[in-house]
Amino acid sequence: MVEPLGPGDPAEISGYMLRGKLGEGGMGSVYLSHTRGGQPVALKVIRREFAQDSEFLRRFAREVQAAYRVQGAYTAAVLDSSIDGQQPWLASTYVPGPSLADAVLEYGPLPLQTVLLLTAGVAEALQSIHSVDVVHRDLKPSNVLLAADGPRVIDFGIARSAEATALTGADVRLGTPAYMSPEQAEGKPATSALDIFTLGLIAYFASTGGHAFGEGDGHALLYRIVARQPDLSACPEPLHPLIARCLAKEPRERPALCEIIDECHRIAAAKGMTLTRGEGWWRPVTTARDSAGAAGSLPSVRPSYRPAAPGSPQAYEPNALDPRLRFAQQAAYTPSAPQPSTAHLGRYHGTAAVSAGSEERDGSERTDTALPDGSRHRLTGFLRRLVGGRYRRVGVAAAAALVLLMIATGLLVELGVLKD
């Protein structure tokens, strides 16, 4: 979701005009911008305090260069970067689509086939990242975007720079505690196996909407990640063995990425499914309209009136608030019930219902000439028959006289001269 720029946000970075804010994290803020050719990009601006650390800048420059080499179907490519000036930044391909965290929050847990497609896609993304000796180190549901043609892993390869800088201190680890591996939490040497541990947590989250180590704040979850075994009872049974292997405490006991992809295909085949991705691959089909044409984007509220092609009558889809639907219902309705009271008239016509006695007390004269519902229905049918008949002029004159008569009758009833 793109938010407007705030008072503290810059309007431009190194020639990139900022159009809105995509998010904010421990490393900095992410903005939506465009290249000079109009290509949308996600511009990540590093916090100023990191930019003042020479060791961070050295490592950041090295790892951004490595990130340039990551080329995969399921990664957002780094397109441009700079370590000059007061704030380093890097620009990557903008992915139109919600994060996994937002999608699960909106729709709930994803079905088994979608989880398998997601897991295999993220595993393939990690293959591309690890192939150039880059470890993500901060993989989490908000760093997995759901594009129309598959998942995209973002924000890879720059966490190590911040973790090594003096800003973090000797006893602090950069990242999201709830999605750290045990070795990450304990400060042990980090290898690509830590991303596999987090992939297991992501697969569990996608299938349940929860965490494999229970609920609580990040530090409570981090303690359980190190000291306890995961509880996988809430996720689909076919996923248990795969997720359990990914969440092994010892890095060497976790499966290789190619094994994870093969296992996803094996699980799908056992259930009679194939892991082929089409449009709307992740979006749950909840209505007939969705199944007719689900797109890989978040749903938007549809207007009551559909835009029509130029020169054609405007088509519309009536709803309960559509005045044309109300008129059609009234025209087709033959009343048999007594006319509603003055109080009902006030509610139906959006005016305050005032009794004759109260009008006399405040000395005001009522000017509301709205007809009772029953009279209006009879008048509507009568006018339609007259106007559509052979004697149109006579019908119009008679209708006008009838309207005046009904108005006068209504006024007399309201003033208490006549009774209902």
The C-alpha angle with vertex 289 and arms to 285 and 292, in degrees rounded to 5, equals 80
Which among 138, 155, 195, 373 is annotated as catalytic?
138
Residue extents of the structural domains in the chain: 12-165+174-284, 323-415
- pLDDT of 72 reads 87
- pLDDT of 176 reads 80
- pLDDT of 415 reads 66
Class of the 12-165+174-284 domain? mainly alpha
Do the Cβ atoms of 243 and 203 come closer than 8 Å? yes
Do the Cβ atoms of 130 and 199 come closer than 8 Å? no
The C-alpha angle with vertex 182 and arms to 162 and 140, in degrees rounded to 5, equals 60
The C-alpha angle with vertex 60 and arms to 56 and 66, in degrees rounded to 5, equals 155
Predicted model pTM: 0.65
Return averaged pLDDT per consecutive 10 residues of the chain, 420 residues in all.
88 93 85 93 89 83 85 89 86 92 95 96 95 89 93 76 44 67 89 96 97 91 94 96 98 97 97 86 60 38 34 37 37 41 35 34 41 49 50 60 67 63
Please give the backbone phi and psi of residue 145, each rounded to the nearest 5 degrees, phi first: -100, 145
- pLDDT of 344 reads 35
- Say whether 149 is catalytic: no
Among 243, 220, 226, residue whose Cα is nearest residue 182: 226
- pLDDT of 19 reads 93
Compute the chain's Rg from CA coordinates. Answer: 33
